[in-house]
């Protein structure tokens, strides 16, 4: 039986309010965490079934939210000045992911849509599958020769963006076919980094292994996935196990989100 916020049409799932296509992630155990990491150790983690957006929330979807609720438009800061991405041709295409949203903006969208941000564990399971793949597509590197599996930076030196993958900035959601997890979820490695619901905090070797939700309090929220600015050779931010974090009031031109609905 589908949860109240999800409907099935033509063999696919959609959320009823924001009309986003969703993918069902079955409950079960998966490998979560980074190999050889003491702060984020590998563990077998059980997550109950849930539905997750197939694509990152787009400008078109976020505009419907802003129109319905009169919520503030997204903005990012550049040279200490606020900028409106919807007035910026680099980011305002309706099919591109919304950027310039804080964690608080993302949770306001979720409240309107009857959804929530994914937990760190939900996001990572959707990206890695049951076997703990390094990337959504498996263990192959993000680029090989002229093949680019995700939208990320080919910057050769600071300030010099090289669009070898076809895009200087964000790309339409779902554009990179290989940036797809075993469940069919798109853009989990690149395009924009995504807010999760969890507070960031040091994990212990006694990681909670059933539906973990992170620390009860904190000063920063977890971000998952690389973005169009990420440089794969520096710490491999595109790897699905990688953990980033920011204060929930921060917005940037590389930050977006996607949402979930629990199956129960």
CATH number, domain with residue 167: 3.90.1580.10
pLDDT in tens, the chain (264 residues): 899 999 999 999 999 999 999 999 999 999 999 988 888 889 999 999 999 999 999 999 999 999 999 999 999 988 888 999 999 999 999 999 999 999 999 999 999 999 999 999 999 999 999 989 999 999 999 888 888 899 998 665 555 566 667 888 999 999 999 999 999 999 999 999 999 999 998 655 567 899 999 999 999 999 999 999 888 666 788 999 999 999 999 999 999 999 999 997
Confidence (pLDDT) at 101? 98
The residue with tokens 């690389």 is 226
Cα 229 to the chain's mean position, in Å? 14
The three-state secondary structure class of 23 is strand
> Which of 124, 149, 136, 114 is closest to 47 using CA atoms?
124
> Which of 110, 1, 102 is closest to 49 using CA atoms?
1
Total number of domains in the chain: 1
Strand bridging mode 21-25 / 12-15: antiparallel
Full residue range of the structural domain in which residue 191 is found: 6-262
Is the distance from CB of 114 to CB of 15 less than 8 angstroms?
Answer: yes
> Which of 220, 152, 155 is closest to 188 using CA atoms?
152
Q: What are phi and psi of 37, to 5 degrees?
A: -110, 130
Is 1 a domain residue? no
User: How far apart are the C-alpha atoms of 100 and 84, rounded to whole Å?
Assistant: 8
Q: Is the pTM here over 0.75, yes or no?
A: yes
Is the distance from CB of 240 to CB of 136 less than 8 angstroms?
Answer: yes
């Amino acid at each position: 039986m589908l949860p109240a916020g999800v409907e099935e049409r033509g063999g696919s799932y959609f959320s009823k309010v924001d009309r986003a296509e969703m993918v069902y992630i079955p409950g079960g155990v998966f490998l979560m965490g980074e190999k050889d990491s003491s702060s984020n150790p590998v563990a077998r983690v059980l997550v109950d079934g849930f539905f997750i957006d197939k694509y990152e929330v787009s400008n078109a979807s976020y505009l419907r939210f802003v129109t319905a609720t009169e919520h503030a438009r997204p903005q990012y800061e550049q040279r200490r000045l606020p900028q409106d991405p919807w007035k910026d041709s680099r980011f305002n295409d309706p099919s591109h992911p919304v950027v310039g949203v804080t964690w608080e903006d993302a949770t306001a969208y979720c409240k309107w849509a009857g959804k929530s941000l994914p937990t760190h564990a939900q996001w990572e399971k959707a990206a890695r599958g049951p076997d703990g793949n390094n990337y959504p597509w498996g263990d192959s590197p993000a680029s090989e020769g002229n093949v680019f599996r995700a939208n990320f930076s080919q910057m050769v030196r600071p300030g010099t963006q090289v669009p070898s993958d076809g895009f200087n900035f964000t790309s339409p959601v779902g554009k990179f076919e290989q940036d797809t997890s075993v469940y069919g979820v798109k853009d989990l490695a690149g395009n924009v980094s995504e807010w999760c619901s969890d507070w960031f905090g040091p994990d212990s070797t006694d990681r909670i292994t059933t539906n973990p939700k992170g620390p009860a309090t904190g000063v920063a929220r977890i971000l998952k996935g690389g973005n169009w600015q990420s440089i794969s050779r520096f710490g491999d931010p595109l790897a699905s196990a990688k953990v980033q974090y920011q204060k929930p009031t921060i917005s940037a031109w590389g930050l977006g989100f996607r949402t979930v609905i629990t199956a129960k």
